[in-house]
């Protein structure tokens, strides 16, 4: 069957005629003659092989086929309008789309966004969370915060947050199960594990931490595995065990006293949080404003975690 899509003027005429149930009213809205509307509808009926209106003395009543086609036209116009609005918003610099991993978005970025909103009330921020790396170079988002080694191609990349790994747990857990005075002693505790994917053959995991601490990783008790880092942190806050903290994700909970560090052995994870921007968007005013703001926030976090860990 040969595909047929009505011309845009015909679709506009049909949609207006359906709404008004009158060719003359549709013509007045579109600024054309009633005869032009009538001819367009008639040509469309011939093409489709069905009647689209019942022509009565005082009005034209759409058939069910016309209403179905009108609904599709209306939906298409709505989608086109949404796309146009999105493009215009981004062109004007009034909207910024941010992509981040769920754990980072929940534990670090989202609590700070209110500060950006207060400083830049005219900028709309859209925050998307996904484990999939957005194609920033292709324009899927204006800015991304990625956790890894920093070797991203075709984009502007800036190191944002240092990353150290170390044990964390709730004060209540440590009070009832502690003290934990060595890596070996830690092996007898419930370890909370997050499924961090390996990048370039490296992953910031419990086996990595124990190796850096000079202890063979051989848990003597049960462990609990979670699919996302923010779930691991919530489990630690709930007193379910000891989590491997990543500095950026636990700095606020440590500062608030909600989490504590049972053993002060912190090691660079080999990863960092990077700010990634599309080249064609990096100098847009509001994107640049957001970059300056998030770098400022990261500097404060880096200084705070250094203080908490006494990292030199």
Neighbours of 43 (CB within 10 A): 13
**Which parts of the chain are beta strand (E)?**
53-55, 60-62, 95-100, 124-129, 143-148, 155-161, 164-168, 191-194, 223-226, 242-246, 267-268, 272-278
Q: 222 and 263: one domain?
A: yes
Do both 259 and 173 map to the same domain?
A: yes
Same domain, yes or no: 234 and 181: yes
What are the distances in angstroms from CA 293 to CA 115, 120, 127, 288, 298? 9, 10, 15, 9, 9
Containing structural domain, residue 103: 93-162+272-309
My answer on whether 158 and 277 are in the same domain is: yes
Same domain, yes or no: 244 and 304: no
Which of 42, 58, 90 is the C-terminal boundary of a domain? 90
In a domain, 116, yes or no: yes
Q: Could you tell me the two tokens for 305?
A: 């975690």
Q: How far apart are CA 63 and CA 52, in angstroms?
A: 5
The per-residue pLDDT for 252 is 93
Examine residue 2 and state whether it is found in any structural domain, yes or no.
no
CATH assignment of the domain containing 58: 1.10.10.10
Last residue of a domain, which of 90, 120, 153? 90
46 and 115 part of one domain: no
- In the chain the first and final C-alpha atoms are separated, in Å, by 73
Measured distance CA(304)–CA(122) in Å, rounded: 30
Same-domain status, 153 and 217:
no
54, 60 Cβ separation under 8 angstroms: yes
- Integer Cα distance of 41 and 10 in angstroms: 7
Residue 27, domain member (yes or no)? yes
Tell whether 65 and 213 lie within a shared domain. no
Question: 157 and 180: one domain?
Answer: no
> Do residues 280 and 258 touch, judged by C-beta distance below 8 A?
no
Could you tell me if 147 and 171 lie in one domain? no
- As a whole number of angstroms, the longest Cα–Cα distance in the chain is 93
- Classify residue 62: in a domain, yes or no: yes
Q: For the chain, how are helix, strand and coil distributed in percent, rounded to 5?
A: 45, 20, 35
Judgement on whether residues 113 and 17 belong to the same structural domain of the protein: no
pLDDT tens for the chain, 312 residues long, are: 456 777 778 888 888 888 888 888 888 877 788 888 888 899 888 888 889 998 887 788 889 888 888 887 776 655 655 554 554 455 455 778 888 888 888 889 988 988 998 898 888 888 887 656 556 656 677 888 988 888 777 788 899 998 999 999 999 999 998 789 899 999 989 999 876 666 666 677 888 899 999 998 886 667 787 777 888 888 999 999 999 999 999 999 999 999 999 998 999 988 899 998 877 666 677 888 899 999 999 999 999 999 998 743
* CA–CA–CA angle 40, 42, 48 (5° rounding): 100
Q: Are residues 173 and 207 in the same domain?
A: yes
What's the total number of domains in the chain? 3
- Concatenated DSSP letters for 222-248? -EEEESSHHHHHHHHHTTSSEEEEEHH
The burial of 247, by beta-carbon neighbours within 10 Å (0-12 exposed, 13-18 middle, 19 or more buried), is given as buried
Q: Considering 66, 90, 114, which residue would you say is the last residue of a domain?
A: 90
Task: Report pTM.
Answer: 0.66
13 burial type by CB count under 10 A (0-12 exposed, 13-18 middle, 19+ buried): buried
191-194 vs 223-226, strand pairing mode: parallel
Look at the chain and count its residues. Answer: 312
Q: Are 252 and 233 in contact (CB under 8 A)?
A: no
In the prediction, which pLDDT does 24 show? Answer: 86
* Measured CA distances, 175 to 76, 155, 232, 274, 297 (Å): 61, 47, 20, 36, 33
């Amino acid at each position: 069957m040969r595909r047929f899509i009505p011309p845009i003027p015909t679709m506009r005429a049909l949609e207006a005629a359906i709404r008004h149930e009158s060719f003359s009213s549709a013509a007045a809205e579109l600024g054309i003659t009633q005869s032009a509307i009538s001819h367009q509808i008639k040509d469309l009926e011939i093409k489709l092989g069905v009647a689209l209106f019942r022509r009565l003395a005082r009005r034209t009543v759409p058939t069910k086929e016309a209403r179905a086609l009108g609904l599709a036209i209306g939906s298409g116009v709505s989608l086109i309008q949404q796309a146009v609005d999105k493009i215009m918003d981004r062109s004007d610099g009034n909207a910024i789309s941010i992509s981040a991993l769920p754990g980072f978005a929940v534990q670090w970025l989202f609590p700070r966004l209110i500060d950006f909103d207060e400083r830049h009330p005219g900028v709309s921020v859209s925050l998307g969370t996904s484990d999939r790396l957005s194609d920033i170079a292709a324009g899927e988002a204006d800015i991304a915060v990625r956790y890894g080694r920093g070797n991203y191609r075709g984009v502007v990349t800036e190191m944002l947050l240092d990353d150290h790994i170390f044990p964390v747990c709730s004060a209540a857990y440590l009070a009832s199960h502690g003290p934990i005075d060595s890596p070996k002693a830690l092996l007898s505790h419930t370890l909370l594990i997050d499924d961090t994917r390996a990048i370039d053959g490296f992953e910031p995991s419990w086996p990595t931490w124990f190796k850096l601490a000079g202890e063979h990783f051989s848990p003597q008790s049960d462990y609990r595995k979670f699919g996302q880092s923010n779930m691991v942190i919530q489990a630690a806050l709930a007193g379910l065990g000891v989590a491997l903290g990543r500095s950026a994700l636990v700095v606020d909970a440590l500062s608030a006293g909600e989490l504590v560090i049972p053993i002060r052995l912190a090691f660079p994870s080999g990863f960092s949080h990077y700010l990634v921007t599309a080249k064609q968007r990096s100098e847009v005013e509001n994107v640049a404003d957001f970059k300056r703001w998030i770098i400022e926030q990261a500097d404060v976090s880096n200084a705070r975690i250094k203080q908490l860990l006494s990292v030199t």
